[in-house]
Structure 1
Amino acid sequence: WGTMPVKRMLEAFASDFRAMDGRHLLESIRRSEGRVLCAEVLTLSPPLVDGISNAELAAAMGADLILLNGYDVLQPQVMGFPGEVELDLGWARLSTGVGTLPARVKEWIGRPVGLNLEPIPDPEKAARALGRLATPENARRAMEQGVDFLVITGNPQTGVTGEGIAEAVAQIRKAIGGIPLMLAGKMHRAGADEPVISERDVEAMMEAGADGILIPLPGTVPGVVEEEAARLAARIHRAGRLVMGTIGTSQEGATASVIEQLALAGKRVGVDIFHIGDAGFMGIAFPENIYALSLAIRGRRHTWRRMAASLHR
């Protein structure tokens, strides 16, 4: 990049993303002033539309960032990508994507790709998710496999705690350094008997080295109101970090008007990255809602540019 300023993500294309590391990505998001959209997809869910992957579909609807959920760094697989195994349904073929790495997903969609890692405390549950655990080894593997950012969080009923997330961030940051963009926090309680977000957790995660903190968008989880979310967002911004406002409570399958209300609430709070989850259908938000969220946070001009831009730019 030399002395050239980092492009706003709003205006960045595939060639720009290929040149970005985690520090560039952070600045590109910051400079976009609350107009970045991250769509989460569940890698082991069959594609909503045969012949393409859910990652491609989410990108086509306007997502800037794709977040892979359920991806196993020890057993790579992204359903919908050509892989070693295909299922012949007679009228269509389902590509299982066995062996597909994030680097290939990036190459095909021309957008930054991240994945979730989880500090699951229960030994029995953790043993069934070894390639998804938030460990330095898995984080290093993820970076080697081509991810641009990491989200340290917890899926439903995993028992992941805010304290556990902060500890995992600290360990990963110590092991792999400051270059990877790392976001941390929860979208819901994840089965733990504690608030989804607290000031103590925010401070601990930032102290551990998180570049950004997850805040559930007001209206997605009980008790997270705009005033409190805005206060936490202001504290996060004063520390030079990003705020990811999340829709992780299946409301990604609600009506477009609900998505628009959540988006505008996030604007008032001060969100930098708007996240939409993977449980509208099983594995991806309603594609129309990805589009609706994009329109709400940045209008048609920026939405259509993202949707239409060639991978050759």
Structure 2
Amino acid sequence: MTKRLLDCNTSDILNMGKTQILEAIAASEGRVVVTEIIGAFQPVLFNLSNAELACAFGSDMLLLNFFDVYNPVFNGIPKVLKENIIKEIKRLTGRIVGINLEPVDVSQETIGEINDISIGRKATVETALKAYEMGADFILLTGNPGTGVSNKEIISTLKAINNSLGDKLILAAGKMHAAGSLNEAGENIVTKADITEFINAGADIILLPAPGTVPGITMEYVKELVSFIHSQGKLAITAIGTSQEGADSQTIKQIALMCKMTGTDLHHLGDAGYTGIAIPENIMDYSVAIKGKRHTYTRMARSVNR
């Protein structure tokens, strides 16, 4: 029987495949914290990576953002071959590690400044395969602010990646904010119809904005979507992608409890608290709010050598 991710040591995680990881997340009953990290920026602690810092404050899983699979940079870890960076992060932290890839839609109507991104960050079968070969456990198809990612392009790209790598990689999809799309903002960021298409295209996990992070996104709205996702046999992740990972502790705790009440399986904190990482204390406060000090401190203290 698969352990709850809450109880897993590094040695347990190393022996898990895709199905076992998903089962371990589901068995944790809404108590898994996913922290987004940017390694291309200067780490908060200068000579120690933001990935290690996030794990020290209770993160259960890591999500790498701004990670170019063809020109990977991750400051603060010992010098290794570029193709071994993700494996080195996993060795140092003992965590499940994924990356963001962005399905940019050049045909849609956009709003605000749109930023061009490198080929190694764009979502394609080739970049997904490269991420898998580098050691990624999961891929999230989503968009950073001003990248022009659309749900239509997420679905198209997800289908292609699933056809090639769906048996090897956990695939997550969704948007935590508009990402520059004019017609996919507020309650239009994601709908039941979008979720159905994500699932049909091969998504194992559906990403939704956390309540209170995007205008019009309430706890009741997200709860309805999470219930629908679960009815389809898939997992949900609520995401803070609006720099509120840098808010005060009380706000973080409020968002955490609202997300817990929606029934979500995973809780995402973005990378914009400090540069490239949520405020570390907020990672811990969020974790304590959804699973108490016992599980939070256990994750913080557990040796990667177990």
TM-score range, shorter chain: over 0.9
Shift of 1:101: 1.7
* CA–CA distance in structure 2, aligned partners of residues 126 and 180 of structure 1: 28
1:297 aligns with 2:293: no
Equivalent residue, structure 2, for 1:234: 227
**Residue 89 (structure 2) aligned to one of 90, 100, 105:** 105
Equivalent residue, structure 2, for 1:92: none
Q: Is the 8 A contact 1:77 1:100 kept in 2?
A: no
**Residue 28 (structure 1) aligned to one of 24, 34, 37:** 24
Structure 2 SS opposite 1:184: strand
1:51 aligns with 2:35: no
Structure 1 SS opposite 2:145: coil
**Residue 147 (structure 2) aligned to one of 148, 154, 158:** 158
* CA–CA distance in structure 1, aligned partners of residues 31 and 238 of structure 2: 12
The C-alpha deviation readout for 1:16-43, integer Å capped at 9, x for no partner, is 1111111111110000000000000112
* CA–CA distance in structure 1, aligned partners of residues 4 and 291 of structure 2: 13
TM-score norm. by structure 2 comes to 0.93
Shift of 1:179: 3.0
Q: Which runs of 5+ in 1 are unaligned?
A: 85-96
- Give me the identity figure in percent: 44
Equivalent residue, structure 1, for 2:5: 9
Shift of 1:166: 1.1
The C-alpha deviation readout for 1:72-123, integer Å capped at 9, x for no partner, is 1101211111227xxxxxxxxxxxx966521110011001110000011239
Q: Is the 8 A contact 2:115 2:146 kept in 1?
A: no
Mapping for residues 17-166 of structure 1, pairs under 5 Å: 17-83=13-79, 101-122=85-106, 128-166=117-155
Equivalent residue, structure 2, for 1:203: 196
1:127–1:255 distance in 2 versus 1, CA, 3 Å = closer
Q: Is the 8 A contact 1:131 1:138 kept in 2?
A: yes
Q: Is the 8 A contact 2:176 2:207 kept in 1?
A: yes
Q: Is the 8 A contact 2:99 2:140 kept in 1?
A: yes
Shift of 1:199: 1.6
Equivalent residue, structure 2, for 1:174: 163
1:245 aligns with 2:238: yes
* CA–CA distance in structure 1, aligned partners of residues 141 and 106 of structure 2: 16
Equivalent residue, structure 2, for 1:184: 173
Structure 2 SS opposite 1:275: strand
1:228–1:127 distance in 2 versus 1, CA, 3 Å = closer
CA RMSD of aligned residues (A): 1.5
1:299–1:167 distance in 2 versus 1, CA, 3 Å = same
AA of the residue aligned to 2:276: G
Shift of 1:182: 0.9
AA of the residue aligned to 2:47: G
Shift of 1:311: 1.2
The C-alpha deviation readout for 1:47-73, integer Å capped at 9, x for no partner, is 001220000000110000010001111
* CA–CA distance in structure 2, aligned partners of residues 178 and 81 of structure 1: 30
Structure 2 SS opposite 1:245: strand
1:218 aligns with 2:218: no
AA of the residue aligned to 2:161: I
Structure 1 SS opposite 2:203: coil
1:14–1:54 distance in 2 versus 1, CA, 3 Å = same
Deviates more, 1:152-161 or 1:126-135: 126-135
Q: Is the 8 A contact 1:46 1:79 kept in 2?
A: yes
Deviates more, 1:138-147 or 1:177-186: 177-186
* CA–CA distance in structure 1, aligned partners of residues 220 and 287 of structure 2: 24
AA of the residue aligned to 2:206: I
TM-score norm. by structure 1 comes to 0.91
1:128–1:244 distance in 2 versus 1, CA, 3 Å = closer
Structure 2 SS opposite 1:68: strand
